[in-house]
A and B are shown apart, each in its own frame.
Chain A
Amino acid sequence: MFKLTRILARNATVANLTGARNLRPRLYANAAALNEKEQTLTAANPDEPIDIANPYKKDRQLCILCKHNITPHYKNVKLLSQFQSPYTGRIYGRHITGLCKRKQEDVEKAILRAQHCLMMPGHHKDLDFLHDPKLFDPEKPVRPHKY
């Protein structure tokens, strides 16, 4: 925290000297280099608040299917079986899979289709895909369980 305030303070002086109010928070690395050049200019008011973008703003989250641009399809049984419980064959909920609303719906629809077409079991997970890498941990849901 102390480090951050120090960086912010340094950035503040630079921003005021240059008059560049739209200095982005990602430019901290260049701040030291700029500092020497801008020393000659006079400051208008170093105590003036500066306009910067929120440095605490988090990056936009993407679900795993959107990140890799995958559309679930009923013939892609290997992918779909990763969203199925190995014990009961039930589809994991959105709070466990961490998918966005739309992709979760697509996955559920595709799984039901695959099960109707006899490509996928409904009461257990396909034994061929039992040891596939885990996309999520059902013991640690993204959001808490309803019960």
Chain B
Amino acid sequence: MPSYELALVLRQLPRPELISVIKRTAEAIFDKGGIIRKFENLGTRALPFKVSEHGVVHREATHFTITFDTAPTKLSDLKEEFGRDIDIIRRYIFKVEEPEDYECTLHEEMLPPAYRKDVQELIDIAKRKQKPKYNYNSGLDYYPFQK
């Protein structure tokens, strides 16, 4: 089962109610056969802009993330279920990506165009697309093709 991260934006609520919302979402994940790996509270903050959701305008919200494992087929069900919850303003599910080793390509990108690999490929493509041209000084005294 792949790992996913659920980013929740919760309505401004008193603490006991906030706990019940998180419990509800966690149980929804368990019901779909998921495993929870991590809870993360990102705190209560003023939103960057006012958001109207479920008929209410929100200006402050609590950010919360839940990292969990579940089958990819269950994700749409989960999203639908969280979408019906009035206390949840936004819910996004992102796949947790493993950090892969990668080498910086800035040096190659800063080379002059003629030395860059992508430019060289473009030039090759342009060369390949050029039609063969008839050479007029090839000894024939007439043009062998239709004009």
Contact = CB atoms under 8 A, between A and B. Distances in A.
A62 B49 contact: no
Contact of A71 (B42, B99, B106, B110): B99
A50 interface: no
A4 interface: no
Interface string B75-112: 00000000000000110101000010011111101100
Contacts of B51: 118
B106 A100 contact: yes
A118 B47 contact: yes
A75 interface: yes
A121 B48 CA distance: 5
A67 B106 CA distance: 11
Given A113-B92, A113-B94, A118 B48 contact: yes
Please report whether the interface of chain B is mostly helix, strand, loop or mixed according to DSSP.
strand
A115 B49 CA distance: 10
B104 A100 contact: yes
A62 B106 CA distance: 6
Given A117-B63, A118-B89, A66 B7 contact: no
A101 B92 CA distance: 26
Interface in A106-127: 113, 115-123, 126
A75 B106 contact: no
B79 to A, nearest CB: 13
A20 B3 CA distance: 57
Contacts of B107: 60-62
Contact of A116 (B92, B102, B103): B92
Classify chain A: how many residues form its interface, as a range. Answer: 20 to 34
B105 A102 contact: yes
A7 interface: no
Contact of A118 (B9, B65, B105, B110): B9
B61 interface: yes
Nearest to A94: B109
Contacts of B92: 113, 116-117
Given A61-B106, A98-B106, A117-B63, 8 more contacts: A60-B107, A62-B107, A66-B103, A75-B42, A100-B105, A103-B104, A118-B9, A119-B42
30 contacts: A61-B107, A62-B104, A62-B106, A63-B104, A63-B106, A66-B102, A66-B103, A66-B106, A67-B104, A74-B7, A75-B42, A99-B106, A100-B105, A100-B106, A100-B109, A101-B105, A102-B105, A113-B7, A115-B48, A116-B92, A117-B7, A117-B63, A117-B90, A118-B47, A118-B48, A118-B61, A119-B63, A120-B48, A123-B49, A142-B110
Please give me the 8 A-B residue pairs with the lowest Cβ-Cβ distance, nearest first: A121-B48, A66-B104, A100-B106, A61-B107, A63-B106, A117-B7, A62-B104, A100-B105
